[in-house]
Structure 1
Amino acid sequence: MKFTFAHNNLNVYELQKSLDFYKEALGLTVTHEKEADDNSFKLVYLGDGETPHLLELTWLRDMNRAYNLGDNEIHLAFRTDDFDAAYKKHKEMGCICFENPKMGIYFISDPDGYWLEIIPSNE
């Protein structure tokens, strides 16, 4: 028996706001979508165009408040081939939430407060 990664899921409160953020901040684009017959939820899968791994954004129609992320100790990590340009872009977007220069990494926060680690390709 063998298992392979398919996707990671994040629940989002405002779907379009999240889609715009992931496109601008990380260049992720929609690969496909699924919507419930009763419109109670929508799944939107984002890809980077290079790897098979997907990010599934789940929007729930009846969610009437922002998600409580608790201690938010979970994160996704993204490699970039131009760390300095990525840092500049994210600084301009105002989404950098934590920096660790000693380790050569930083984190950005999406519209729902999920942390995303940015690391250089050579790490």
Structure 2
Amino acid sequence: MQFSFYHTNYNVRDLDRSIAFYQEALGLTEQRRINAEDGSFIIVYLGDGVSPFQLELTWLRDWDRAYNLGDNEFHLAFHVDDYEAAHAKHQEMGCICFENPAMGIYFINDPDGYWLEIVPQNK
């Protein structure tokens, strides 16, 4: 029996804002979408165009408050081929939330507060 990664899910409050963020910050694009017949949810799958792994963004119509991310000790990590350019872009966007120069990595957060780790390609 062989398992492989497929996708991970983040629930979001403003789907359009989140899609725009992931497009601008990480170059992710919409791969497919599921709309509930009754309008109660929308699921959008984003991909990087390189790997088969996808980020699933779920919007729930009846959710009326921010998501409780606890201590937010979970995250997705992204390799980037031009670390300095990525850092400059994210700094300009104002979304860097933590840097660890000793490890050579940093984190950005999305509009809902999820953390995303940025790692140089050679690490």
**What TM-score, normalized to structure 2?**
0.99
Distance in 2, Cα, partners of 1:69 & 1:28? 22
Q: Which residue of 2 aligns with 1:100?
A: 100
Q: Which residue of 1 aligns with 2:77?
A: 77
Q: Which residue of 1 aligns with 2:113?
A: 113
Q: For residue 37 of structure 1, report the CA deviation from its aligned partner.
A: 1.0
Q: Which residue of 2 aligns with 1:36?
A: 36
Distance in 2, Cα, partners of 1:112 & 1:68? 10
Matches within 5 A, 1:82-93: 82-93=82-93
Q: Which residue of 2 aligns with 1:7?
A: 7
Distance in 1, Cα, partners of 2:86 & 2:107? 11
| Backbone CA RMSD of aligned residues | 0.5
Secondary structure of the equivalent of 1:52?
Answer: coil
Distance in 1, Cα, partners of 2:9 & 2:50? 19
Q: For residue 56 of structure 1, report the CA deviation from its aligned partner.
A: 0.2
Q: Which residue of 1 aligns with 2:24?
A: 24
Runs of 4+ more than 3 Å apart: none
Distance in 1, Cα, partners of 2:104 & 2:3? 32
Q: For residue 68 of structure 1, report the CA deviation from its aligned partner.
A: 1.1
Q: For residue 46 of structure 1, report the CA deviation from its aligned partner.
A: 0.2
Aligned residues: 123
Q: Unaligned regions of 5+ residues in structure 1, if any?
A: none
Distance in 2, Cα, partners of 1:109 & 1:44? 19
Distance in 2, Cα, partners of 1:116 & 1:9? 13
Secondary structure of the equivalent of 1:66?
Answer: coil
Q: For residue 3 of structure 1, report the CA deviation from its aligned partner.
A: 1.0
Distance in 1, Cα, partners of 2:73 & 2:39? 31
Q: For residue 119 of structure 1, report the CA deviation from its aligned partner.
A: 0.2
**What TM-score, normalized to structure 1?**
0.99
